[in-house]
Amino acid sequence: MNLFVVGLSYKTAPVEVREKLAVQASRLRCHGCRLKLTGNLEELVIVSTCNRVEIYGVAEQVGRPLEKLFETLSSVEMDYEPYLYRKQGAAAVEHLFSVTGGLDSMVIGETEITGQVKQAYQAAQEAHLTGKITNRLFQTALQTAKEIRTETGIGRGSTSVGSVAVELAERIFECDLSRKTVMIIGAGKMGEACVKHLAKKGARSVLVANRSYDKALNLAAEFGGQAVPFDRCLEGMTRADIVVTSTGCPQTILHRSDLAQVMSARRNQPLFLIDIAVPRDIDAEVQELPNVYLYNVDHLEDIIRENVKNREHELARCREIISDRAALLLARFNRPRFVNETAPVPEGALAGAAA
């Protein structure tokens, strides 16, 4: 039985490539079932975030090139092979542990990825795509991530894309957000992280827009901000200095014509846009407009590189934990009676693994 991972990430592919393969959480089961059949796989889990798309699989024999699996995920004809990495056996195990623990993230030590891996695993399990190997693999990965956060300081400082986006906003305005209005479009986890950090930094005013107005109201109220109906987004942008988008929509929501309308209403005052969504929320053509400045998730790397330096002394301990836990798991896989000793994962068994 062969365990493998094939994927791409921010390290190997720019956002314009990653967004073509991104899988919405609601589609993980559907895509997983199709991949399992087309790839002749015994077990399968798809992990898709703003920074990576990865396929973890188990097969008796890999009967076709692994990169061909990605043709099933994309509706766009493109050669993805140059952007992909492939790992098997022990290398695949250690890679998943690093991903789940936040060591392979753009923001080293981020905690959001652990929940995203857990969600991906549970979606695959509910669709009956997992089995004895992937169940044990992902359970151990989540437990290892918890151990890393408990026993090391890898998560200190800015530990999410949302918090780094706020750092970028600070740099744009030379650390003073107290007289600025920031608008968040998308009230999901990344949007919530942005609002939380903006409140800490003393932003004068925070506007929150979301397709669910109730969700926007709740998030805005929690941090003393103001909710904006989604269909009045452009009107809200006329009042903002910085707009951060993280909607998770499969299509672009803001186009050049929209921003031209906004800039006319604000008399061409500078507007800074930070798009941390994948697929991207904002059409790249908007930056051709005068006084419109667009940043996407890949532009956060300079700040992130600085944050990594502050955590380098913790990385050795994290890697030691990962190496130890991977070795124990591989030894278990190699037991002659592993098939018989592995029971199905009970309901709620993972409740604390990613806490």
Q: Per the residue annotation, which of 33, 50, 194, 318 is the catalytic one?
A: 50
Task: Map residue 152 onto helix, strand or coil.
Answer: coil
* C-beta pairs of 259-266 under 8 Å, 24+ apart in sequence: 259/286, 259/289, 259/292, 260/289, 261/234, 262/234, 262/237, 262/238, 263/289, 263/290, 263/291, 263/292, 265/235, 265/238, 266/237, 266/238
Catalytic residue status for 50:
yes
In whole angstroms, what is the distance from residue 122 CA to residue 188 CA? 19
Report the first-to-last Cα separation within the chain, whole angstroms: 32
Identify which of 113, 251, 223, 217 has the alpha carbon closest to the alpha carbon of residue 166: 223
Residue type, 134: T
Pairing of strands 292-296, 271-275: parallel
User: Where does residue 254 fall: left (phi above 0), alpha (psi -120 to 50 degrees), or beta otherwise?
Assistant: beta
**Cβ count within 10 A of residue 8:** 23
**Catalytic residue numbers?**
50
